[in-house]
Amino acid sequence: MNRTLRRAVIAGNWKMNKTPAEAEALLAETLPLVANAACDVVACVPFVDLPAALQAAAGTNLKIGAQNCHFEASGAYTGEIAAPMLAEMGVQYVIVGHSERRTYFGDTDKTVQQRLAAALKAGLTGILCVGETREQREQGITDELVAMQVKIALQGVAKEDLHRVILAYEPVWAIGTGLTATAEQANEVCGVIRQTVASLYGDEAAAGLTIQYGGSMNAKNAAELLAMEHVDGGLIGGASLKAADFAAIVAAASR
Ligand code: 13P
């Protein structure tokens, strides 16, 4: 983390967990534990939890995000949620391109690019997820693959909107597996992401970009990962569902 150049952001990705009542309870437990954070704190909750979460977090330092948005502003897309709908509610962040959306729901680099564009157009901050599978890492194509994912997703993103983009490096093999990238592995790929952004927008813009690591980040390994130059925060799955664990990660990012 380089605090003089960029903001540290710890975001929980609750995935498909917690009913609205459970969301309210988890936030009630989490909020006092993260109230003194010296980093940005976000909870990305299921769509139906958004009203309860926004209400619970109102007036606090915790911001609310969604986990996906559609790329059109409205239309005949049964079951989908558009970015302007989220923005109107007071949602400030949205995850795009999570590997679970890419794997199970047909998201491609192209639709991820479209979703990010829609999110930015609606005034949201996009948390753009990229990362390689185990097979791709073994093939030695991690750097090229991640650079390609970044380049495609950022197509059409204006330089003045880049401050509303957070990159999240999430190696697919580390998500929900208990396997964590080593701090060196995480730093290396986050560095590749920063270089890629520098090639598109220049060194200064890249230096100000927040890049998170995600993949079995927890209360124990957070400090070591966050100590790395290019790791500016975390996108937290499982550990964000336990208030004490999430708060410990926020504390690690606040030191
Ligand atoms: P886990 O922290 O459960 O591995 O999930 C990471 C993730 O996918 C966050 O988006």
pLDDT in tens, 1-59: 888 899 899 999 999 999 999 999 999 999 999 999 999 999 999 999 999 999 999 99
pLDDT for the residue 176: 86
Query: Can you tell me the mean pLDDT for 111-135?
Result: 98
Beta strands in the chain (DSSP E): 9-13, 40-44, 62-66, 93-96, 125-130, 165-169, 211-214, 233-236
Query: Where in the sequence numbering do the catalytic residues fall?
Result: 98, 170
pLDDT for the residue 155: 98
pLDDT averaged over the chain? 97
The lowest-confidence range among 56-65, 157-166, 174-183 is: 174-183
Half-sphere CA count of 170, side-chain side, radius 13 A: 29
Nearest to 122 by CA among 70, 159, 80: 70
Residue 128 has pLDDT above 90, yes or no: yes
Residue 242 pLDDT class (50, 70, 90 cuts): very high
**Number of Cβ within a 10 Å radius of residue 204:** 10
- How close is the Cα of 234 to the center of ligand 1, in Å? 9
Residue 179 pLDDT class (50, 70, 90 cuts): confident
Query: Can you tell me the mean pLDDT for 118-142?
Result: 97
pLDDT for the residue 2: 85
CATH numbers and ranges of domains, the chain: 9-254 (3.20.20.70)
Pocket perturbation via mutation, ligand 1, pick of 9, 10, 14, 15 by most ligand atoms within 8 A of CB: 15
Query: Can you tell me the mean pLDDT for 145-174?
Result: 97
